[in-house]
Chain A
Amino acid sequence: MTVYVKGVVFDGVDFDDPNSWNIDAYIQRGGYAALKKIIAEGITQDTIIAELKTSSLRGRGGAGFPTGLKWSFMPRSFPGQKYLVCNTDEGEPGTFKDLDIIVNNPHALIEGMIIGGYAMGITVGYNYIHGEVFAAYERFEAALEEARRAGFLGDNILGSDFCFQLHGHHGYGAYICGEETALLESLEGKKGQPRFKPPFPASYGLYGKPTTINNTETFASVPYIIREGGQKFLELGKPNNGGTKLFSVSGHVNRPGNFEVPLGLPFSELLEMAGGMRGGKKIKAVIPGGSSAPVLPGHIMMETTMDYDAIAKAGSMLGSGAVIVMDETVCMVKALRRLSYFYFEESCGQCTPCREGTGWLYRVVDRIERGLGRPEDLDLLESVGKNIAGRTICALGDAAVMPVQGMLKHFRAEFLHHIEHKKCIVPGY
């Protein structure tokens, strides 16, 4: 199910109409008007980047980095080839929003990337799509073909001297390729192992050339900002947290799905939109920003609004906007065990602290869950975590540690009970 209250990314999309994704429908709801305006009025690169800064659009891929600032880092006058890359490798457990964009409104992403190419003087782009959603890759390819035929993509776009080529590329099962430098390696046809930074992609990216990478939702927000103005976008949300955000709500709710709502919406309202707690049970905990974000107790969430700053203040991260809701029947040890297994399984193995540490975290949580935990295990988890965080090439190491730290901070008693009594306080997932 997908619902939008205020549509930016899904502006005007009719989810009941199977043709709503195609180019005619997109144009009818104002699509490609931003691109036409840029070309017809000769809007400058600086104006576009300034408009993005006004909008306070922040990267929707997880880190929340200001997009206008990122685009301004691109060496626009660099004479050689430069690349624009979209990250649709959505694999952060709980996140399923980018799939929805590609399937239901692919032209918003395409138009956003074309505008990005124009604003940064880039002529070639790629969209890296998660391998498991192959139908989305096919949908994207079909939409590209439509855009080429309509003259929005390719050489001399809309009769101007601006040229931009865009292609789809699919992954084939590796979470780590969502990390931007692993994604670039993978796009080059290699194992998806993250690179040391610096150099950052803006100076050394795809094939060693300057590259800008953004998330699908970030790009798909751009046409609206150009069409309606950065100020209007900003006002949809709240200061420093402009616009709307897609939240993927999963877990123990009656109506899981994607909800496009203004940033700053109270969590309680989002929960209500998702149909409330399944079976009328009590809310126990929420992971507010994808599996890498620290868990928060339900009562804290019920007093929090959904935006970058408020969730950070509550002690977690908005991340990718994946909201995983857990009711009173969930055993937190079991929940953490599954997440820790995921990071262990998906570590690319390059750095010793991550490769060994993620296995260690998993084995300790696993033995606690199986009733074999030792009293010193919680200290052990904390010290292993300290030896991973900040000591690795990419942020997967930190991502593996944060769920452990969040659980021990808020649900320590449950872990202690497990160790002492060799069983769960509550039975289920």
Chain B
Amino acid sequence: MSDLNSGLSPDSLAQIDREVAKYPAEQKRSAVMSALRIAQVEKGWLSADTIKLVADYLGIAPMAAHEVATFYNMYDRSPVGKYKLTVCTNLPCALSGGAEAGEYLQKKLGIHYNETTADGKFTLKEGECMGACGYAPVLLVNNHTMCNHMTPDAIDRKLAEFN
């Protein structure tokens, strides 16, 4: 994950271009949320340098991109493990095992929320409602993959897939 001075890949830039095309020419700033997401997928997390790369590419002030990166909580402003697991513990999920899923994961991985395992493999986060409460307990892997019905058994099987 060397980040300094290495620009974004041609693939990432092509993806960003597709997003930019959705907005009026003078409103490229609207693409900053997708562009930061695309950059984060490539780099693993958003360092100040990566944020600046995105801002420069869109022609906006680095501060404007930085504000967005800090406001929305799925952007990672510090390195995370290879697998970032976010468990929803809000009330609807908690009524169906969401809180237990969080506790089970902490025990199993030997870390608390907002920590990363020593081998750098897993980061655990506590999340708010993901709009998937009917499938509780739910776990979001690396922001983009939703796993449903994550009972302790299902968590065991899921973690084994990552080995």
Contact = CB atoms under 8 A, between A and B. Distances in A.
Contacts of A95: 129, 131, 133
B83 interface: no
B68 A190 contact: yes
A249 to B, nearest CB: 7
A99 B68 CA distance: 24
Given A171-B72, A338-B91, A189 B31 contact: yes
B96 A133 contact: no
Contacts of B129: 91-95, 175, 291, 342
A230 to B, nearest CB: 30
B152 to A, nearest CB: 16
B104 interface: no
B36 interface: yes
B131 A98 contact: yes
B128 A346 contact: yes
A94 B131 CA distance: 7
B80 to A, nearest CB: 14
B94 interface: yes
The residue in B23, B24, B67 that gathers the most chain A C-beta atoms within 10 A of its C-beta is: B23
Nearest to B26: A207
A187 B99 contact: no
Interface stretch (B107-115, B116-124, B139-147): B139-147
Interface string A305-349: 000000000000000001011100010000100110010011000
A131 interface: yes
A258 B133 CA distance: 10
Nearest to A428: B95
B96 A186 contact: no
B157 interface: no
Interface in B1-54: 22-24, 27, 29-34, 36-37
B73 A174 contact: yes
B127 interface: yes
A324 B91 contact: yes
Contacts of A94: 91-92, 129, 133
Interface residues of A, number: 56
B91 A256 contact: no
Interface in A126-161: 126, 130-135
Nearest to B140: A132
Interface in A75-120: 81, 90-96, 98-99
Nearest to B65: A189
B131 A99 contact: yes
A172 B144 contact: no
Interface in B60-75: 60, 64, 67-68, 71-75
Contacts of B135: 96, 256
A250 B94 CA distance: 10
Given A326-B95, A429-B95, A93 B67 contact: no
Contacts of B151: none
B131 A90 contact: yes
Given A188-B27, A258-B134, A251 B72 contact: no
A330 B94 CA distance: 11
B62 to A, nearest CB: 13
Interface residues of B, number: 45
Contact of B72 (A174, A187, A256, A335): A174
A60 interface: no
Contacts of A251: 92, 95-96
A191 interface: yes
Interface in A247-303: 248-252, 256-258, 291
A30 interface: no
B90 interface: yes
Contact of A96 (B74, B127, B134): B134
A92 to B, nearest CB: 7
A93 B128 contact: yes
B33 to A, nearest CB: 6
A169 B34 CA distance: 8
Contacts of A291: 90-92, 129
A7 interface: no
A338 B32 contact: no
Interface string A165-188: 001111111110000000000111
Interface of B: 22-24, 27, 29-34, 36-37, 60, 64, 67-68, 71-75, 89-96, 99, 127-136, 140, 143-146
Given A93-B90, A96-B131, A99-B132, 14 more contacts: A1-B134, A96-B133, A99-B131, A133-B146, A135-B145, A170-B33, A173-B72, A189-B27, A191-B67, A207-B27, A252-B96, A339-B90, A346-B128, A429-B94
Interface of A: 1, 81, 90-96, 98-99, 126, 130-135, 167-175, 186-192, 207, 248-252, 256-258, 291, 322, 324-326, 330, 335, 338-339, 342, 345-346, 429
14 contacts: A93-B91, A93-B129, A95-B131, A134-B145, A167-B22, A172-B74, A173-B72, A188-B29, A188-B30, A189-B30, A190-B68, A207-B27, A250-B92, A324-B92
Leading 9 A-B pairs by shortest Cβ distance: A189-B29, A173-B74, A132-B130, A173-B73, A167-B22, A172-B72, A134-B144, A93-B129, A250-B92
